[in-house]
Amino acid sequence: ELKVEQNPLFLSMQEGKNYTIYCNYSTTSDRLYWYRQDPGKSLESLFVLLSNGAVKQEGRLMASLDTKARLSTLHITAAVHDLSATYFCAVDAIQGAQKLVFGQGTRLTINP
């Protein structure tokens, strides 16, 4: 059974600092997704990583995928308050089937 683990689960940081969220998964997959969720809201797609070595960047967020290590990272550069949210990674349980298994989420709080 596919398991997806994120760490840390909670992260409090100051504006201007850099940090990384880690996502490990237990079985082979070449597709990994990152989502953002604000309190009481739905999931917003951030990145779709489709192959080993994939790297995508949008603003202060950068995501990468290492399929051999079964690891993805979401790096935050020079954090700003607006990035406060919960971040989820997700992996297809069956390749191509879109039966996503989510991590527990990382609740990120960025303080002024």
> In the complex, which residues of this chain contact another protein (CB under 8 A)?
4, 31, 33, 35, 41-45, 48, 88, 90, 92-94, 96-105
Query: Considering the complex, what minimum distance in angstroms separates the CB of residue 21 from another protein?
Result: 13
Q: Which is nearer to another protein, 3 or 17 (CB)?
A: 3
Q: Which is nearer to another protein, 14 or 45 (CB)?
A: 45
Query: Considering the complex, what minimum distance in angstroms separates the CB of residue 15 from another protein?
Result: 25
User: Long-range contacts of range 42-48, CB-CB < 8 Å, 24 or more positions apart?
Assistant: 43/88, 46/74, 46/87, 47/74
Q: Which is nearer to another protein, 15 or 38 (CB)?
A: 38
Query: Considering the complex, what minimum distance in angstroms separates the CB of residue 48 from another protein?
Result: 5
On whether the CB atoms of residues 70 and 25 are closer than 8 A, the answer is yes
Query: Considering the complex, what minimum distance in angstroms separates the CB of residue 33 from another protein?
Result: 8
Q: Which is nearer to another protein, 42 or 68 (CB)?
A: 42
**Rounded CA gap, 15 and 30, in Å?**
33
**Rounded CA gap, 34 and 102, in Å?**
9
24 Cβ contact list (under 8 Å, min separation 6): 4, 5, 6, 7, 70, 71
